[in-house]
Amino acid sequence: MTLKRMFCLLTGLGMLLSTGIAWSAEVHGRSSTQYQWFTDYLTGNKQAEFGQYLNLSVTKIDPAGKLSFYGYGRGNQDILNGQGFNARLYFLYGDYSNLFDKVDIRVGRQFVNYAAGSALVDGGKIDLKNVGPVAFSIMGGRNVIFNLDGEASNDNDFVWGVAANLVGLKKTDAELSYFMKLDDAGIARDQVGGSFKQYLFNSLKIYANTRFDLTSEAFSEVLTGVKYYPNSDLVLTGEWYQSYPIFDNSSIYSVFAVNRYQEAVFRADYTINDKITVNAGYSKQFYGEDAEADVYGIGTQIRPIDKVQLNLNYDYRTGYGGKLNGGAVEIMYEPIKPLELAGGIHYDTYERDRATGRETARKYWLGSKYKLNKSMAASARVENNVNQQYKDDWAGRIAFNYDF
Amino acid sequence: MKKIAFILAILGFGLICLQQKSYAEKKIAHTEFSDMAIKECNSCHKSEGIAPNHNADFIRGHRVLASKTGNNCSQCHSQKMCLDCHQGGGTGDNLTQSNFGRDYKPKSHRSDFITIHPIKAQDNPQQCYRCHEAESFCNSCHSRFPKGSMRIKSHMMLGANGQRYTFAVGEHATEARRNLQSCQACHPEGDVCIQCHSSGKTRPHPRNWKSGNIKDRTNAKMCLKCHLPGTY
């Protein structure tokens, strides 16, 4: 099935390319040929694969430039472990915009985002705009689900939704939407969503985002927040978030009692100057029945000279669920214009519970990228994982990219 | 009460719309600025009162910006930007990004993420499901492990393989209420739950359980997993 879809994709793209030439359409994109090696976590076997990515846009097909096509997919062939061919089509859709200056139509595989729900769908989306202060949107199609090995959608996996959003106001956003997900058992999810954003006094942003589950008649997610930015270099954030676990109606877990999860977040992001930005945050988590956790985080981005960038992040978590103490260091260096060198370390110590004790995980990596000319670049990245499971576990990728 | 609140919200929304009917201040399309460096955005935004949103907080906070219709992400980014992180793709541009097998990993998945994910998944349990389908994704990995090899706190109390709990001693009820998603990762069909929680045994439903809602939406298929026809 996957092979068949990949064949259709490539045939379709071929047709698009030839059509583009005939109509003087603009065809742009990237071909990325990759070689990857890694350890299959489940079997413990070393695996090596060739991968081919294709990202494509075909625009200005018609004289008015209203019709365009976009596609992105990959195919991988294992050459060491007998796992064969694996493919993933991320999106492939045709877009016709500004029909009667009021309608945008998008047909094909696409990622759709409403406040009430988001999904990757094989279907369509129609947006109605320029009809007043409110714009409307409707979408629907087959629900595309990926698991580790490929597509996991069943025959009856579908989603659809409608949305209305406020337009024309520079400092206000508001959306009200509905999202339904169907599966073999019937209606799996039935949700209303809302989103709101308002800028105030040139230095304040208030925002909210919520989902209400009509089956359990509970707010599955509520987020409210405020950002205060006395100047554009400093942003202070305060958020309150709560969620109530919702399962598909076809899952036995949808009938069980659960606790509400709540979280308060405080954060500051400060750009000291062109060379240094810093951030710090704290979140308090509540799991119900007196279970709580605290998470502290700090980070900085330093650019001592134009050709060097250093990123440092550290966080510390303690409380319900376990302790985690660690961070990452990354450095990027551009010695000459076409060459980029990079490296980094991830280091974490953690303790899931008293019985497991403290463990450590480290990742060391190095990478480089060389731009051969305006349209071609080659890159390589290797990493070594040293952790509870592996004393040394090497993995990496080599990529050759061609832009057209 | 909830219905009234819902109707009031709709009316309020309508009123806002009417009040803003003269919408003169149109938002500026960002397409022509898509190649600009982020730090240059301030040249306009500094005086406009718009909060910088592509800073170090972007990974955590972008959902509020992106998860709505009418967002302006597509004016600068293609859907590749979303799906490389959400569905594991990549063309090798970002050297800091590592892979999990053939899939590219988002930067939020640090070091040995397989081992630390039970801790990370506690930080907002909903966030895993923004990219992963709860039942199929978790179970496609968890199901391949031999029973007894997963270390769940409530399962470590008793039994030769550490995978048995008792009603009196076990912490499973509390653990399940706090993190029911983790139960689903290994027991997608809930077969072990039904042994004690089916009809006539320990009631699993929440206090304000609306049985009719789920019955209508699944044509009673869900109810029949535990109850006899006509008894629910």
Q: Please, what is the average pLDDT of chain B?
A: 77
A4 Cβ contact list (under 8 Å, min separation 6): none
Cα-Cα-Cα-Cα torsion B81, B83, B89, B91, nearest 10 degrees, comes to -20
CA distance B103 to B89: 6
* Chain A contact set for B124 (CB, 8 A): 241, 243, 261, 263, 285
Query: Count of alpha carbons within 13 Å of B138, Cβ hemisphere only?
Result: 19
Q: Do B13 and A118 touch (CB under 8 A)?
A: no
Q: Do B178 and A36 touch (CB under 8 A)?
A: no
Q: Is A202 in contact with A226 (CB distance < 8 Å)?
A: no
First-to-last alpha carbon distance for chain A, in angstroms, is 30
Q: Please, what is the average pLDDT of chain A?
A: 89
Closest CA–CA distance from residue A120 to any residue of chain B (Å): 9
ipTM of the complex: 0.84
* Chain B contact set for A395 (CB, 8 A): 98-99
Flag whether residue A294 sits within 8 Å of chain B, measured between CB atoms. no
Q: What is the pLDDT of residue A17?
A: 52
Binning pLDDT at 50, 70 and 90, where does residue A180 land?
Answer: very high
Q: Do A185 and B218 touch (CB under 8 A)?
A: yes
Flag whether residue A245 sits within 8 Å of chain B, measured between CB atoms. yes
pLDDT in tens, A276-324: 999 999 999 998 888 899 999 999 999 999 899 999 999 999 988 888 9
C-alpha B194: how far from chain center: 25
Of A285, A143, A282, A161, nearest to A211 by C-alpha is A161
Work out how many CB contacts closer than 8 A connect A with B: 387
CA distance B125 to B38: 31
Angstrom distances, CA of residue B25 to CA of A106, A171, A202: 27, 9, 16
For chain A, domains (ranges, CATH) are 259-404 (2.40.160.10)
Q: Is A366 in contact with A382 (CB distance < 8 Å)?
A: yes
Question: Phi/psi of residue A106, each to 5°?
Answer: -130, 125
Binning pLDDT at 50, 70 and 90, where does residue A131 land?
Answer: confident
Q: Do B102 and A36 touch (CB under 8 A)?
A: yes
Angstrom distances, CA of residue B194 to CA of B185, B202, B203, B225: 16, 10, 10, 8
Which of B2, B49, B119 is facing A322, going by the closest CB pair? B119
Q: Is A201 in contact with A213 (CB distance < 8 Å)?
A: no
Q: Point out which residues pair with A226 in neighbouring strands.
A: A206, A238
CA distance A79 to A219: 48
Q: Point out which residues pair with A267 in neighbouring strands.
A: A237, A281
Provide the whole-model pTM.
Answer: 0.85
Q: Do A147 and B140 touch (CB under 8 A)?
A: yes
Which of B66, B118, B124 is facing A241, going by the closest CB pair? B124
Amino acid at B113: F
Flag whether residue A158 sits within 8 Å of chain B, measured between CB atoms. no
Closest CA–CA distance from residue B122 to any residue of chain A (Å): 6
Q: A202 — alpha (psi -120 to 50), left (phi > 0) or beta? A: left
CA distance B189 to B84: 31
Q: What is the pLDDT of residue B54?
A: 82
Which of B93, B135, B156 is facing A251, going by the closest CB pair? B135
Q: Is A279 in contact with A271 (CB distance < 8 Å)?
A: no
Q: What is the pLDDT of residue B168?
A: 45
| Residue ranges of A 9-48 with Cβ closer than 8 A to chain B | 30, 32, 34, 36, 38, 40-42, 47
Among the residue ranges A69-78, A89-98, A197-206, the one predicted with the least confidence is A197-206
Q: Do A324 and B116 touch (CB under 8 A)?
A: yes
Picking from A113, A136, A212, A236 by the largest number of B CB atoms within 10 A of its own CB, the best residue to mutate is A113
Question: Phi/psi of residue A153, each to 5°?
Answer: -70, 145
Which of B2, B82, B226 is facing A111, going by the closest CB pair? B82
Q: Which helix (H) or strand (E) holds A25?
A: none
Q: Point out which residues pair with A400 in neighbouring strands.
A: A33, A378
Closest CA–CA distance from residue A367 to any residue of chain B (Å): 6
Q: Is A348 in contact with A365 (CB distance < 8 Å)?
A: no
Q: What is the pLDDT of residue A13?
A: 54
Per the listing, tokens 């303790």 go with: A351
Query: A286-290 — which CB contacts under 8 Å span 24+ positions?
Result: A286/A261, A286/A262, A287/A259, A287/A261, A287/A320, A287/A321, A287/B122, A287/B178, A287/B179, A288/A259, A288/A260, A288/A261, A288/B177, A288/B178, A289/A259, A289/B174, A289/B177, A289/B178
Q: What is the pLDDT of residue B154?
A: 64
* Chain A contact set for B20 (CB, 8 A): 133, 166, 168-169, 172
Q: Do A322 and B137 touch (CB under 8 A)?
A: no
Average pLDDT over residues A194-212: 91
Of A98, A99, A71, nearest to A87 by C-alpha is A71
Q: Point out which residues pair with A239 in neighbouring strands.
A: A225, A265
How buried is residue A53: exposed, middle or buried, by Cβ count under 10 Å (0-12/13-18/19+)? buried
**Helix, strand or coil for residue B72?**
coil
First-to-last alpha carbon distance for chain B, in angstroms, is 26
Q: What is the pLDDT of residue A23?
A: 58
Per the listing, tokens 């006094």 go with: A201
Which of B52, B90, B217 is facing A186, going by the closest CB pair? B217
Q: Do B214 and A166 touch (CB under 8 A)?
A: no
Closest CA–CA distance from residue B106 to any residue of chain A (Å): 14
* Chain B contact set for A176 (CB, 8 A): 10, 13
Q: Do A322 and B122 touch (CB under 8 A)?
A: yes
Which of B49, B56, B226 is facing A301, going by the closest CB pair? B56
Average pLDDT over residues A21-41: 86
* Chain A contact set for B99 (CB, 8 A): 36, 38, 395, 397
Given a cut of 60, whether residue A22 has pLDDT beyond it is no
Binning pLDDT at 50, 70 and 90, where does residue A221 land?
Answer: very high
CA-based nearest residue in chain A for residue B130: A118
* Chain B contact set for A220 (CB, 8 A): 126
Flag whether residue A297 sits within 8 Å of chain B, measured between CB atoms. no
Binning pLDDT at 50, 70 and 90, where does residue A3 land?
Answer: very low
Closest CA–CA distance from residue B159 to any residue of chain A (Å): 15
Q: Do B67 and A115 touch (CB under 8 A)?
A: yes
The residue ranges of chain B whose pLDDT is under 50 are 22-24, 168-169
CA distance A202 to A200: 6
Give a three-class secondary structure readout of B74-102: HHCCCHHHHHHHHCCCCCCCCCCCCEECC
State the CB neighbour count (10 A cutoff) for residue A4. 9
CA distance A328 to B116: 14
Specify the DSSP class assigned to residue A200: E
Picking from A85, A127, A148 by the largest number of B CB atoms within 10 A of its own CB, the best residue to mutate is A148
pLDDT in tens, A136-152: 999 999 999 887 778 88
* CA angle in degrees (0–180, nearest 5) for A110-A74-A180: 25
Binning pLDDT at 50, 70 and 90, where does residue A7 land?
Answer: very low
Given a cut of 80, whether residue A114 has pLDDT beyond it is yes
Token duo for residue A333: 């260096």
Give the β-pairing of A261-271 and A276-288: antiparallel
CA-based nearest residue in chain B for residue A241: B124
Average pLDDT over residues A190-203: 90
Of B106, B83, B91, nearest to A121 by C-alpha is B83
Q: What is the pLDDT of residue B22?
A: 45
* Chain B contact set for A49 (CB, 8 A): 102
Q: Do B122 and A40 touch (CB under 8 A)?
A: no
Closest CA–CA distance from residue B189 to any residue of chain A (Å): 7
Q: Is A78 in contact with A45 (CB distance < 8 Å)?
A: no
Q: For chain A, give the number of residues.
A: 404
